[in-house]
Structure 1
Amino acid sequence: MKPNIKDLESRVLSVLEDIEHNDNPVRDVLAELWQYNQEQWQRVEQMVRVSDAYQDMMMKREKTLGERFDKHIRQLEKITRISDRYQTALREANLELEHASLMDTLTGLPNRRKMLRTLKREYDHRRQHIKLGMIDIDYFKRINDAHGHLVGDEVLIAVGHLIEQTVGDLGHVARWGGEEFLVVFTHKNADDVEICVNNLVREIQEARFDVLDGQIIQTSISIGLSHYQEGDTIDSLLTRADDALYDAKNSGRNRFHISHK
């Protein structure tokens, strides 16, 4: 049976305090044993206090470290969110810059750089179907001289949109530079392309462009058309289209001419 420590201590103390046992030789031994026992208990209690203090310190340290760790995690998460937003904004800005670098700011059509990319792609994949239409607005300098550059800009925009609308799915339209436009036709049927080119000349000639201050401007276009021929490069296709445009202008303008070279 497990002894009752409290009861046992009480009995030992009663023996030590009873003067009747002062002359008993066992009393001195019991007194030393009691003193040793008390000292051991004090050591145990001190160790417990030290252990408890250490545990408290470690718990506080772990709590402090945990709080610091959580704080760092929150900071890293915040930095990550900021970085993600920055990267997204940077990608969007780059896309906008790329788009802007490939578009003509006046007409909203693809510019020369974008068209050269398109032309190379079409040449690499289906060059045998390529037909180029080089378009120039007739006597455009006269419009600028007579009505000013603002009116000239409005005419460029209107002509560009009408060309794009008329060409439709038959090809790609771009502002090539100045008052020139380039169409890369990729439609297989050459007759459909020639009908489209003829319609372009007619549509522009019949159009009445309502520009600034209610001014009505009429104009016309000349077109040079080149078809892919065996051995053609992109440069040779462009050169022949440009030569055909020159022939159309020399023949009286407001017409299209096909290069057969």
Structure 2
Amino acid sequence: MSNFHSFPSTPFIRWFVKDNQSLDRDIRLKLLKGPFTSRAALVAAGMNTLLVCSVAVVLHPTLFFISWLVADMVIWIIRWFLLQRFMASGKSSLRYATDLSLLFGLIWAAEIGIGTAGCIISQDPVLQVLACTSAVSMNGAIAMRNQGIPRYAFTQILLTDIPMKLATLFQPEPMLRLLILQAPMYLTGLWVLLNNLNATLTTAYISEAQSTHSATHDKLTGVLNRLGILNLMTASLNSKTHGDSDFCVLCLDLDGFKKINDANGHATGDRVLVSFSEMVTRVVRKGDAVARIGGDEFIVLMPDTDKISASLIAERIIKGLEDYAGKYENYEGLGVSIGITQTSPSEQGSVDQVLSRADVAMYNAKSAGKNCFRFG
């Protein structure tokens, strides 16, 4: 299931999920996804608490237990609605959808804790066993499901556990008060478990991100490699997000690079490639993608643009390289030929065909005298 959750908007809810602020945004979003990833978990939790509440009402049809049953059902319905309508379906039009989902997760935990406390105070051994077993099992599920946000998960556990422990003070069996003595060890163990699970999950996400980055980025320059840009171009051709918005592809090939590389060594050639990629990255727009697809050949993908904008970028790249080469005597003759093609997502064509058109245009630029751009 796709994840459509976002970071919380309110300071109160943000406090519960602000761990790992130094991590990449995508990793932090992945760590936050626990409460939004499984309808099955929500259904199982709802059936569990509904069973305990129903048994309590059957055995003791008091106002407290009837209210507990009603509250449990209402809270579950709201949580299901938020997950189904604003998270799972990807149609989130509610600004505070994430905040509300996390808030009602806390309210749900408090409701379980208060209801469990009522079962203990009732002195009914059946309810005491059922409610305490249910609460402890729910805490384990909370730790596993929300391990990416340990502060939030531990707060849920506290809201579930503390009322249950305090309730032992208001019933006549003194041995049950041993639960209070057990609380520090139990809660410390869960806190350690949560942090260990979180560390393991975080390491896994970081390793995944690094692996993905290595597979799609050029090791020398840090820009995208052939696989990375082909993936983006494929997505652009298949895009339904921007309708029929055109995108432009620029094919760049350095002129005079081989001569400089042969005369000055590969280390100098590498510095030229790195400097050129950095310059191009600075020149293009924030949403554009730069890739080195091999040797001294680069690709720029410009989504939602036209030939005029692409021309301006091409001119800036040519001028930027001229200024760079002018600083070094041994870089004489260094330039760039650029081929540009404009494509619409509605066109029937492949990535290879788009690249081929841009490549032909680039060779036309070389034939026209190099250090210029042509359209294809």
TM-score normalised by the chain length of structure 2? 0.45
Q: What is the correspondence of 1:31-180 to structure 2 with a 5 Å cutoff?
A: 81-125=195-239, 126=242, 128-169=245-286, 171-180=288-297
Query: CA 1:217–1:90 in structure 2 vs 1: closer, same or farther (change >3 Å)?
Result: same
Q: Which AA in structure 1 matches 2:300? A: V
User: Does the alignment pair 1:225 with 2:340?
Assistant: yes
Of 181, 186, 191, 2:298 maps to: 181
List gaps (5 residues or longer) in structure 1.
1-66
Alignment size in residue pairs = 196
List gaps (5 residues or longer) in structure 2.
1-180
TM-superposed deviation, 1:233: 2.5
Distance 1:257 1:170 in 2: 23
Query: CA 1:239–1:73 in structure 2 vs 1: closer, same or farther (change >3 Å)?
Result: same
TM-score normalised by the chain length of structure 1? 0.63
| Aligned equivalent of 2:318 | 201
Query: CA 1:93–1:257 in structure 2 vs 1: closer, same or farther (change >3 Å)?
Result: same
- Supply the RMSD in Å over aligned alpha carbons: 3.1
Identical residues among aligned pairs (%): 26
Query: CA 1:115–1:133 in structure 2 vs 1: closer, same or farther (change >3 Å)?
Result: same
Distance 1:129 1:217 in 2: 36
Distance 1:71 1:237 in 2: 64
Distance 1:165 1:73 in 2: 51
Q: Deviations over 1:137-192 (max 9, x none)?
A: 11211111100000000000111111111122472211122111101122433212
Query: CA 1:169–1:83 in structure 2 vs 1: closer, same or farther (change >3 Å)?
Result: closer
**Higher Cα radius of gyration:** 1
CA contact (8 A) 1:210 1:216 kept: no
SS of residue in 2 equivalent to 1:133: strand
Distance 1:173 1:166 in 2: 10
Distance 1:244 1:85 in 2: 50
Distance 2:249 2:336 in 1: 15
CA contact (8 A) 2:261 2:269 kept: yes
| Bigger mean CA offset, 237-246 vs 192-201 | 192-201
TM-superposed deviation, 1:216: 5.7
Distance 1:197 1:76 in 2: 58
Q: Which AA in structure 1 matches 2:271? A: E
Q: Which AA in structure 1 matches 2:283? A: T
TM-superposed deviation, 1:98: 1.7
Q: Which AA in structure 2 matches 1:235? A: D
Distance 1:200 1:190 in 2: 15
Of structures 1 and 2, the one with the larger relative CO (CA 8 A, separation 6+) is 1
SS of residue in 1 equivalent to 2:272: helix
Q: Deviations over 1:17-60 (max 9, x none)?
A: xxxxxxxxxxxxxxxxxxxxxxxxxxxxxxxxxxxxxxxxxxxx
Structure with a larger share of its residues in strand: 1
